Amino acid sequence: MCIFLASRLHPDYALVILSNRDEYIERETQSAHWWPDGIYAPKDLKRGGTWMGVSDTGRLAVLVNFHEKQPIGELSRGLLPVSYLTSEMSATDWANDTRSLHADALKLAGGFMMMFGDITPANGEIQPLELLSNRQPPEVLLGDDCPVLCMSNGPLSDKSWEKTETLARVFEPLLSLHGDEFIKQCFKLLSTTCVADTLTIEDIRKTVFVPRCQLPSGPYATRTQTIVLVDRKGQVTYMEKTLGPEAGDPDAQVEPVVEQFNIK
């Protein structure tokens, strides 16, 4: 039950993204790396997709799945970010094409939201991004009227995911920080735990960082923490902490792997 925040408000960056990926411990994952297609992203080794990534041409996709009890269809939602990141179509054309070609599969798939678009700065600013979802209509994201966005595992209007409000509220004071201190405090924010050690699946709605817990399908925890910074000249800094054996430990001392590149 992942969470991410995206903001256009930091004075040094056209875009800031903070993300926690919560997942079953046993699900095999490859850390962020360069794929042959020119995208930098982690990989879900079970289905071959990803939950977030950036291309060297300035495309971004971030996916969150909905918490639903209904069966999941055959469509692997993690392949949607890969499809967009490797496409040469505009974001709008790709979304229209995807909705048309995969209409039935999208209806049968588990619920999801995907923020995507071009993050190449123009005059130091990025353009608003787009939303693809099979549970709510298309929407412009990160426009001038709403430059901060926080998503978790339910519709944008679902206020029961308390962790989104917590993350957005505690992030705001960090906008006055710069450089290494800003990054340090962002990772600290991603390790915010809001509930007791014994969690139920409903408690996970409340906590930004999910300590290791036992759910009906197996052990579960926050496994990956990611910060993506896009400066106003188009340099991307992608920082990922893969917690490994420390998954679910908010005090784990894990150094992030950092990849920097300029958008082509």
| Per-residue confidence (pLDDT) for residue 75, from 0 to 100 | 86
| Per-residue confidence (pLDDT) for residue 215, from 0 to 100 | 84
- Domain of 33, CATH number, reads 3.60.60.10
Dihedral sign for Cα atoms in the order 175, 180, 185, 186? positive
Is a pLDDT exceeding 80 seen at residue 26? yes
Q: How many domains does the structure of the chain reveal? A: 1
Is a pLDDT exceeding 80 seen at residue 33? yes
| Per-residue confidence (pLDDT) for residue 3, from 0 to 100 | 96
Is a pLDDT exceeding 90 seen at residue 213? no
Residues 185-200 have a mean pLDDT of 84
pTM for the predicted model, two decimal places: 0.95
| Per-residue confidence (pLDDT) for residue 249, from 0 to 100 | 84
Is a pLDDT exceeding 80 seen at residue 201? no
Is a pLDDT exceeding 90 seen at residue 88? yes
- Per-residue pLDDT tens digits for 230-258: 999 999 999 999 998 778 788 888 999 99
- Per-residue pLDDT tens digits for 48-86: 999 999 999 999 999 999 988 765 678 899 999 999 999
Query: Domain limits at 76?
Result: 3-262
